[in-house]
Amino acid sequence: MTSTTNRRQQPIQRPKGTQDIFLDKVALWHAVERTATQLLESAGYSEIRTPVFESTELFKRSVGEDTDIVNKEMYTFEKGDRSLTLRPEGTAGVVRAFIEQGLHRQPKPLKLFYSAPMFRYERPQAGRQRQFHQFGVEVFGADSPAADAEVIQLAMRLFERLGLPNLVLEINNIGDSASRQQFRESFCQLIEPVLLEFCDTCQTRFHTNPFRMLDCKNSACQEHYSEPTVARFLASEWTSEASQKHYTQVTTILDYLKIPYQRNHRLVRGLDYYNATVFEITSTHLGAQNTVCGGGRYDSLVEQLGGPSTPAVGWALGMERLVSLVEDCALPALDYYIVTDQHASALALADQLRQQGKSVEVDLTARAFGKQLATANKRHAHSAIILGEAEASSGQLQIKFLSSGQQIEQSRDDLLKSCKLPEA
């Protein structure tokens, strides 16, 4: 009789709504992140890293208590007498750090970017996970339309560098708080007679935050906004004169930069802190969850969270969705793969080459050289260095160029000299 202690235990599965990222996939992530980081650093942005969890109150005050994120999707836990939440989005934590760490005293504008995991409890589906990753930018202290245009420009240039096709930039002006209050009154008068034809969520939002009814993805709800009277109202310039002027200047700069866009009068974004400019960049290759990047201006959020009055604008993109669109992103090439059964000598050679800026992998198995060469090809190495017992003794290495199949003999010293980095 088999002892129960010897039975193989069932493997533990990853939590629903999460994913493992490894091998070629993680290399692709690194390539995308590297491209984004290099672009933003070249434009004067610097990275910020904030805690993975924050005070629950931070998200209630910033994202909005009536939003789906706060009401339904946050991972919140109690620790002692404190309520803490895994961050569901990036901007609130960056603004908290901006205030707490005295970053508002830095020269303006202050340009920051971040790359981090976020957490929302929602039904997993294509393009939507419970743990997901965002790459975002935030610009503090610039109320100029040029700041709106620059963050949009950088997002579009990033997607160009990644070779993404069929992207659409949608933009809207949602005005200031006074404009939105006037909008609320007129909008409610138009919608109230048919309110019962809207979904339950929209009926709740009608009483709490009717502006966010426009963000509903229910097709039946969206059809009501195509009714002539409602459509004319949404397309009218109901925002303040200052907001209209700001929006016109933003689009004028985009025109000058030859960045195409579409005005979407229903675009409001799903977070309460936005004002004035809001925008989304969508892809026709993503299905229902088609937004790759979204953002806008949030001029009152810093003050709302206890800091000084500070205009701000930014965006965030979903890394999972972005990576799914990237087919060829210049994955880092491996310079040398050392095929060997002389591991001490191979590791010493690899160390010397790496110190001279080369990427080198040593085969750590005891397999036949033919199988090691097959692995070198799979790793897309430029060249294989064959280092057997004879090569280790003589110092003469066999170098095989994997793309052409050509093989040459070269001394260890000559190889190191040819790889030597130039003097600074």
Taking the domain 334-418, which CATH number applies? 3.40.50.800
Q: Which CATH code, of 3.40.50.720, 3.40.50.2300, 3.40.50.970, 3.30.930.10, is assigned to 23-176+239-325?
A: 3.30.930.10
pLDDT of residue 177: 81
Nearest to 51 by CA among 59, 40, 39: 59
Bond preceding residue 109 cis, omega within 30 of 0? yes
Nearest to 172 by CA among 63, 245, 268, 256: 268
Residues 266 and 211: beta-carbon distance below 8 Å: no
Q: What is the pLDDT of residue 424?
A: 37
The residue extents of the domains of the chain are 23-176+239-325, 334-418
Strands 275-283 and 262-263 turn out to be unpaired
Q: Give the pLDDT of the chain (424 residues) as one tens digit per residue.
A: 455 556 788 899 998 988 988 888 888 899 899 999 999 999 999 999 999 999 999 998 888 766 667 777 888 999 888 999 999 999 999 999 999 999 999 999 999 999 999 999 877 776 678 999 999 999 999 999 999 999 999 999 999 999 887 899 999 998 888 887 888 888 888 888 888 888 888 888 888 888 778 878 788 888 888 888 888 888 887 888 898 999 999 999 999 999 999 999 888 876 778 889 999 999 877 666 688 999 999 999 999 999 999 999 999 999 998 998 886 555 667 899 999 999 999 999 999 999 999 999 999 998 999 999 999 998 889 999 999 999 999 999 999 999 999 999 999 999 998 876 554 3
The closest of 66, 62, 112 to 87, measured between CA atoms, is 62
pLDDT tens column, 79-113: 888 999 999 999 999 999 999 999 999 999 999 99
CA distances from 111 to 47, 286, 314, 341 (A): 9, 30, 9, 51
Alpha-carbon gap, residue 180 to 273, rounded angstroms: 12
pLDDT at site 329: 58
Give residue 64's pLDDT: 72
CA 352 – CA 358 distance, rounded (Å): 9
Q: What is the pTM of this model?
A: 0.85
The answer to whether 305 and 95 are in contact (CB under 8 A) is: yes
The three-point CA angle 210-214-216 to 5° equals 105
pLDDT the model gives residue 336: 96
Q: How far apart are CA 304 and CA 292, in angstroms?
A: 28
Amino acid in the structure at residue 235: A
